[in-house]
Structure 1
């Protein structure tokens, strides 16, 4: 005789649940989610966890489910606040207060995309107001005096404009059959060499934003671009192109996973350094 995985009572031969218990279980999630979303609207968070725990106990839910609901709703509000591309101080305060008053674990949030979005939105607002906040994770560069890391992108593709030569024309001579469907062409190659410029992948590495410089640390090369030398930053779908105020310096293209954030961060850091 099988037991119901929700209530623990006999469920019948080869059965693992009661339909009624499953309905109660599903209804519990909806009730908790609706309550948490309503609390975010009203701003009353102090009693929220207790109310969610009461619902959980009456609907075969656990404390983990309560944490999941709180995390889900917090993430939804981050997306809502950042819908206009800006996280203002009032919105940030509400998100922070939600975490504190519900006892939501920051460690649990830290691995979520919503928390990364929150940190990016917070950082951009501060930089736009002339404030620099240090990025506390280790960075693979030796920083200068009064220089602090601001953000780090991993797995960044580095490209630059390079000239390459190709031959335009055709073959002369004849073909010798080697095997079925395969030919080896013999004779000279006719045509003229043509030079062109194209974006070429040169390395993969880490891109470090500080308050003074942009660093790229790759597998085969590493370099620094001072903000005072940057004259233009152009965003593309896949990344950003950085132009320097020097004839000998080639434009550098960085392929990364958040173009909007990297572009806005770099432009504001460059402006702040040049002011």
Structure 2
């Protein structure tokens, strides 16, 4: 005979739980989550949560693991819904909960719930630098308070910093190019946190952080200054006085391919010579027609210098001087170039936001 895993009584042959006990257990889980969410929303007290836990353990068969799981879910939910900016009240709510719930942090963080909340609080505190124009020194003191309560890894700190920087850059870019004062604000923030703005993770390719750097370059070029030289590693030979402005990795190049076909119009009579063979008599006049298609050349790095657009890949490399360009068509994920020349073929480069290259062409002194 099977034994009910909730009440411990006989549950019948091949059964491990009574239906009524299962329903009680589900109801207890739902009630506990509601109480926990109410506590984090500020509508309940920690004493009411603890009392509810005792009642549900006795009446609804909640185990210690059930309670820990519910607490983790409630913490994750709080991280999703908490409103910024992060205040002392937010920290007090979490501090009181962790010190009274009676569950080890390792159990609460089994699914990363505390990490999620810590990153959210850390990020929200960082945002006060932009939202409230707080001095960076004051913001850093606040983040230290947050991380003492909710310790997070250096990777999560960097991730939160990049999210905050990306949001601020997006706001500044919404009105056009970033101003000098806005750029200084962003630079101070990224420098204080040691964010890798010159070596961004792949997920930030085409992000507003990248556009922030590009906007700074455009502003320097407009004022007649050289842009800052980053560590570019593409093995290309530069001409005298030529320097790299930007590079896009993992770009696919397509080049126009022209094929010719001979077609004709026939008139006259045809008759069968033998099985499968025919011969047409009379006049036949033919002519050549051309077909255009885009051929995939390969994947490589697109390099923008002060003189050329250079594509480098193991399969093929190409150089298009700015002076030879007679047409540029921007796309959401690349550009199409048309250069001067009798036999010049169209080239398409795909895999990046065309915002920067189009703005560069408008300000660079060709």
TM-score by length of 1: 0.71
Where structure 1 has 5 or more consecutive residues not aligned to the other structure, the ranges are 1-10, 170-185
Instruction: Give the Cα separation in 2 of the matches to 1:87 and 1:238.
Output: 23
1:127 aligns with 2:178: no
How many residue pairs align between the two structures? 242
CA pair 127-107 structure 1, distance change in 2 beyond 3 A: closer
Give the whole-Å Cα distance in 2 for the aligned partners of 1:252 and 1:29. Answer: 44
Q: Is 1:98–2:209 an aligned residue pair? A: no
| Structure with greater helix share of residues | 2
Alpha-carbon distance between aligned partners in 2 of 1:145 and 1:125, rounded to the nearest angstrom: 24
Matched residue, 2:9: none
| Preserved contact between residue 209 and residue 215 of structure 1 (Cα < 8 Å) | yes
Check if 1:201 corresponds to 2:266.
no
SS of the residue 2:128 aligns to: helix
Q: 1:37-96 CA distances to partner (integer Å, 9 max, x unpaired)?
A: 2221233211212212212323x3335455443332122112222223422211110011
2:68 matched residue in structure 1: 17
Counterpart CA distance in 2 for 1:63 and 1:154 is 29
CA RMSD of aligned residues (A): 3.5
- Check if 1:139 corresponds to 2:240: no
Change (3 A) 1:251 1:268: farther
1:130 alignment partner, SS class: coil
Judging by fraction of residues, say which structure has more strand.
1
For residues 87-121 of structure 1, what are the alpha-carbon distances to aligned partners after superposition, in whole Å with 9 as ceiling and x for unaligned?
221111001111234x3443797326144333222
Is residue 239–residue 257 contact of structure 1 (8 Å, CA) maintained in 2? Answer: yes
How far is the alpha carbon of 1:28 from its aligned partner? 5.5
User: Could you say if the C-alpha distance between residues 196 and 83 of structure 1 is closer, same or farther in structure 2, counting changes exceeding 3 Å?
Assistant: farther
1:262 alignment partner, one of 310, 335, 357: 357
Shift in Å, 1:19 = 5.2
Change (3 A) 1:215 1:109: closer
